[in-house]
Structure 1
Amino acid sequence: MTKEQERARARRRHEEAEKKQKAPVSESTRDKQVFGVILAILLIVAAVIVVPKVLPSNDTAEPAAGAQTSIATPEAGSTPSAGLASGQKLAAGCTTPPAAQTSPKQFSKVPDKATAAGKTFTATVKTTCGDIVFELDGAKAPQTVASFISLAKEGYWAPSPCHRVTSEGIFVLQCGDPTGTGQGGPGYTFGIENAPKDGSYPAGSLAMARTQDPNSNGGQFFITYKDSKLPTEGGGYSIFGKVTKGLDIVTKIAANKAVGASPSDGTPVSPISILSVSVTEKKA
């Protein structure tokens, strides 16, 4: 064997010895690698589950037919259940309101205005805080008065919470939505009548609430307990009568303002609900 062959043989033995000396991957290292893979998988799964909950929803609630939100963009958190909601307290002389209606009666046809045209009516509204009496002017607002009379006869507002009170800029108590949410209507709508061109609504005025659509009058109405100036854009708000008794009840409720972060506009601190409405024609 030549010296060159001996050197080559020695080199091969040396290389084989080095391979044997290199330690294989340890169990601890292998465990770390496996744990890393599992952790990565878990993070990916968690991202798939969590991200949809963090992203905001694009869903929006559609208002009910005849929803009234203009003179009243109502605060969330009315009192649809019996008893007092959080932050509410009974005013002196008031009783605990009943639960609001979950499925109020709905009507497809606007009442005939001829039934009220040229006539005057007295409406007695029994509430959990006492009687409030209206004089309804069928001469100036025949369609509105005809609708009010029809809904009263149908028992539409029995019961019905007054869901909104305002005490800054405008001074109103808004009622007439049996659901107490500010979004309910009787199923039909009609246009504006007898709206003051200057936007002046004296204390004791009885007028219709509506959306920005001038043809969205329905079942919701409001009472001004102080002189108020309301927007005239869109045609204003239909005055169809006045309070002849019980304005002090409205003033008492308004004095306690609204619950929540905006006490000048929202659900009354002191709840008041309509229990029944009866209407009779005033004879000359």
Structure 2
Amino acid sequence: MAPNKIDDRAARENRERLKGYKARQAMHQFRVRRRVRDNWIAAIAIVAVAAGATFAQIAYFSAGPGKPVATAEPEPTETTPPTGENVGDVPDPALAEGRTWTGTLTINDVPLGIELDGAAAPQGVASFVSLTQKDFYTGVPCHRLTSDGFFVLQCGDPEGDGSGGPGYSYGPVENAPADNVYPAGTIAMARQAENAYSNGSQFFVVYEDTTIPSDSAGGYTVLGTVTSGLDELKAQVTDKGIAEGTTDTPAIPVTITGVTIE
């Protein structure tokens, strides 16, 4: 009997439709798997960015550069009593005399009136006064500037890269704000993360309200405040921004041109 050409054609068409259906199903399943994969990748990336920002805030004053973003309401951090000891010839806290010291911190020829609280931070103020009396700070750069939610200008490292100091280190943290908020004008000591006894000569000036989360060592020793000249410092220095291609290098050279204290 002769084959039925119509039936053969119908069979071929059915097979082609079946192949097409299977191909579309395979493509649909691939797209579903890819969407699931992309969603997981996006979720992981978001978590990683959030964790990285928090770590950068906490570790900012140690070795690595960064532009941490302050949190408006930081979570309370459980701390243990800091351990450690002073290293080197640390000035006697008695030098702070338990009183308010006044003077001028000049940065790029912008004079900042300052007040240091020798009663609240005797060790930190004693160190700052001692270094000032030895003319340690004159000509030393301000090597680090941050913005975008975290507003500090860090100074006092004779090496100019965050690694230098006066040849000694001290602690523990003194006079840190309980709420982790450092108002504009705050002058505070920079230190390594998790190390309460790593204060030296480096300090930072807060030029807009900034939140810095505490770590296991506590917060950061607040020496005192800028009483005048902060607006001019912002206009002449911090508003110039960060150098292109860097994360926290000031766009213009910034140097301490003089410090007086009495």
Under a length normalisation based on structure 1, what TM-score does the superposition of the two structures give? 0.60
How far, CA to CA, are the matches of 1:221 and 1:123 in structure 2? 16
Q: Structure 2: which 5+ runs fail to align?
A: 1-58, 67-86
Q: Structure 1: which 5+ runs fail to align?
A: 1-68, 77-106
Higher mean alpha-carbon deviation, 199-208 vs 245-254, is at 245-254
Identity %: 46
Residue in 1 that maps onto 2:125:
145
Residue in 2 that maps onto 1:195:
176
Cα-Cα RMSD: 1.9
Deviating runs (4+, > 3 A) in structure 1? 72-76
Structure 1 residue 251, shift from structure 2 partner: 1.5
Structure 1 residue 173, shift from structure 2 partner: 0.6
Residue in 2 that maps onto 1:259:
243
Residue in 1 that maps onto 2:256:
274
Asked if 1:231 corresponds to 2:213, the answer is: yes
Letter of the 1:114 partner, please give it. Answer: A
> Residue deviations 1:42-69, cap 9 Å, x none?
xxxxxxxxxxxxxxxxxxxxxxxxxxx7
How far, CA to CA, are the matches of 1:126 and 1:224 in structure 2? 15
Under a length normalisation based on structure 2, what TM-score does the superposition of the two structures give? 0.64
Q: How many residues align?
A: 180
Residue correspondence of structure 1 range 139-218 to structure 2 within 5 A: 139-191=119-171, 192-212=173-193, 213-218=195-200
User: Which has more helix, going by share of residues?
Assistant: 2
Residue correspondence of structure 1 range 16-95 to structure 2 within 5 A: 70-71=60-61, 73=63, 75=65
SS of equivalent to 1:193: coil
> Residue deviations 1:53-107, cap 9 Å, x none?
xxxxxxxxxxxxxxxx74264549xxxxxxxxxxxxxxxxxxxxxxxxxxxxxx9
Computing the radius of gyration from Cα coordinates, the structure with the larger value is 1
How far, CA to CA, are the matches of 2:252 and 2:197 in structure 1? 32
> Residue deviations 1:187-246, cap 9 Å, x none?
111111011122100110000000011110000000111110001113010111000122
Structure 1 residue 250, shift from structure 2 partner: 2.8
How far, CA to CA, are the matches of 1:231 and 1:194 in structure 2? 15
